[in-house]
A = this chain, B = another copy of it.
Amino acid sequence: MLLSSKKLELELKAKLFRGLADTSRLSILETLRTQPLNVSEIVHATGLRQSNISNHLGCLRDCGLVTSEQRGRHIYYRLTDDRIDDLLHMTEEILSDVANGVYQCTRYESPTEPYQ
């Protein structure tokens, strides 16, 4: 049915954006924009806890945004698709114009950071 395929597409799109809608996941993706990294390296690069990273990577992997590959006892993660980098780049350009509005939008704050 057309209606339900529209709806499905909408949910897929929302789900993809939810994958990008969190600072921890975004910072993971940012570290992977330049090269593949294993989990320890991501932990070191982002400063986030290992279990936290692992949970987010699970999400990103399930959603197809990253893929993993075992090498020795490390598991390396990389962006699945170059267009994810393009997408991030395009949002940076949009933000450079719209940033004021986004900055002022207080409806959906980033969750306050717990102490580490």
A interface with B by C-beta (< 8 Å): 9-23, 26-27, 30, 58-59, 61-65, 80-81, 83-84, 86-88, 90-95, 97-108, 110
Bound Cα distance A84, B14 (Å): 14
How many copies, total? 2
- 8 closest cross-chain pairs (CB), A and B: A64-B101, A64-B98, A62-B105, A17-B21, A63-B105, A21-B21, A18-B21, A17-B20
Given A87-B87, A87-B90, A105-B62: A110 in contact with B13 (beta carbons within 8 A)? no
Contact assessment for A94 and B102 in the assembled complex, using a CB-CB cutoff below 8 Å: no
Given A90-B83, A108-B59: A100 in contact with B10 (beta carbons within 8 A)? no
